[in-house]
């Protein structure tokens, strides 16, 4: 089972992680201190089975978060909070949570609830598998089950940009558009002779954005603006990963993405700059935009094919 923990108290997150791992109940695939960073599609891509979430958090509380994610999130939700208000607890159940646990957390209670939810999940899966087998045997055509929801390259690109800390950057839309262009390009031409040149990619994006036959000056202006937005976004991703590595060299995101999306010597250099609090502008940093785009595309495609 895959777990995701959202609680603004790092001690609580650590305690829950230890309980789950000590009892071999599953794997912690992510955690956050606030609900504002969660969305259903991202949790699904991480294949989260059970979300443990606090009620009171600074920016986006548990109830608001659940309202935001339940239209798409396919897993189960356990709320853990010090609030004992019957009205709030009732509202949480109406929103679709499986269980509500009162803090301070009790290990025996937490493990009992998690094990109960796991049994519920396994039972649902068994029933679905039986129904699917019967439908195949009886040649019954049915609509796809919710768990068979598919995602396109755009969804996985947005997920990766969130993981890389740049989902809110101006250049993130350009990067997603680039992924869509590359996906369609590969289907038509393949990459036997390599990816298109960056110049061709940005010109395609500019033509699509202008949406009309543009003169050379307008096209050149849009290409330049798009390149700048992308470069700034890539730089912010480098800065974000370097910051994670500086805080904790064993951070899962740092380990997974830093050397995959950037030359590690550049990541090391940025970590040193952050440690020494030097402030070079992004334009002085030699960023390999093409390497970043290639890594983003192939990683997004890999996630899509694994779904």
**126 in a structural domain:** no
Instruction: Return d(Cα 238, Cα 270) in angstroms, integer.
Output: 8
CB-CB contact of 253 with 160 (8 Å): no
**95 in a structural domain:** yes
3-state secondary structure 113-182: HHHHHHHHHHHHHHHHHHHHHHHHHCCCCCCCCHHHCCCCHHHHHHHHHHHCCCCCCCHHHHHHHHHHHH
pLDDT of 19 over the 90 cut: yes
The mean pLDDT of the chain is 86
Is 96 in the same domain as 231? Answer: no
- From 102, 121, 140, give the residue that closes a domain: 121
pLDDT above 90 as % of the chain = 46
Question: Which among 220, 232, 236, 231 is positioned nearest to 290, based on CA atoms?
Answer: 231
pLDDT of 307 over the 70 cut: no
- From 78, 103, 121, give the residue that closes a domain: 121
**110 in a structural domain:** yes
Is 225 in the same domain as 184? Answer: yes
Count of structural domains, the chain? 2
What is the token pair recorded at 174?
């350009």
Element spanning 53, H or E: strand 50-53
Is 159 in the same domain as 296? Answer: yes
Q: pLDDT tens digit string along 53-69? A: 999 888 888 999 999 99
Is 19 in the same domain as 61? Answer: yes
What is the token pair recorded at 111?
């493990």
pLDDT above 70 as % of the chain = 89
Q: pLDDT tens digit string along 157-177? A: 988 998 898 988 889 999 999
pLDDT of 278 over the 80 cut: no
**135 in a structural domain:** no
CB-CB contact of 31 with 5 (8 Å): yes
On whether the pTM is more than 0.85, the answer is no
Residue 197 burial class via C-beta count within 10 angstroms: exposed 0-12, middle 13-18, buried 19 and up: exposed
pLDDT of 283 over the 70 cut: no
**210 in a structural domain:** yes
pLDDT of 150 over the 70 cut: no
**204 in a structural domain:** yes
Q: What is the CATH number of the domain that holds 81?
A: 3.40.50.2300
Is 212 in the same domain as 264? Answer: yes
Is 186 in the same domain as 117? Answer: no
Instruction: Return d(Cα 177, Cα 41) in angstroms, integer.
Output: 19
**130 in a structural domain:** no
Is 169 in the same domain as 212? Answer: yes
Is 20 in the same domain as 161? Answer: no
Is 295 in the same domain as 165? Answer: yes
Is 110 in the same domain as 197? Answer: no
Domain that holds residue 185: 153-306
Instruction: Return d(Cα 238, Cα 242) in angstroms, integer.
Output: 6
**96 in a structural domain:** yes
SS3 99: strand
């Amino acid at each position: 089972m895959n777990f995701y923990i959202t609680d603004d108290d790092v001690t609580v997150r650590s305690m829950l992680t230890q309980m789950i791992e000590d009892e071999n109940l599953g794997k912690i695939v992510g955690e956050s201190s606030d609900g504002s960073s969660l969305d259903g599609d991202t949790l699904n891509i991480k294949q989260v089975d059970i979300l443990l979430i606090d009620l009171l958090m600074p920016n986006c509380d548990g109830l608001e978060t659940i309202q935001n994610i339940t239209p798409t999130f396919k897993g189960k939700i356990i709320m853990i909070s010090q609030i004992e208000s019957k009205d709030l607890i009732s509202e949480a159940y109406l929103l679709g949570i499986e269980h509500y646990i009162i803090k301070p957390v009790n290990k025996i209670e937490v493990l009992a609830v998690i094990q109960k939810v796991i049994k519920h999940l396994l039972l649902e899966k068994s029933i679905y598998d039986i129904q699917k087998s019967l439908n195949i045997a009886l040649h019954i055509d049915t609509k796809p089950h919710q768990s068979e929801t598919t995602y396109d390259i755009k969804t996985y690109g947005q997920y990766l940009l969130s993981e890389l800390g740049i989902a809110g950057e101006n250049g993130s839309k350009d990067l997603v558009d680039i992924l869509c262009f590359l996906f369609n390009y590969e289907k038509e031409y393949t990459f036997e002779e390599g990816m298109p040149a960056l110049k061709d990619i940005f010109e395609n994006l500019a033509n699509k954005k202008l949406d009309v036959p543009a003169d050379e000056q307008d096209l050149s202006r849009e290409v330049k603006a798009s390149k700048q937005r992308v470069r700034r976004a890539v730089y912010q991703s480098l800065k974000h990963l370097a910051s994670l590595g500086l805080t904790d060299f064993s951070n899962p995101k740092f380990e997974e993405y830093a050397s995959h999306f950037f030359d590690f010597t550049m990541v090391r250099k940025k970590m040193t700059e952050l440690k020494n609090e030097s402030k070079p502008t992004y334009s002085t940093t030699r960023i390999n935009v093409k390497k970043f785009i290639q890594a983003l595309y192939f990683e997004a495609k890999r996630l899509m094919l694994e779904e």
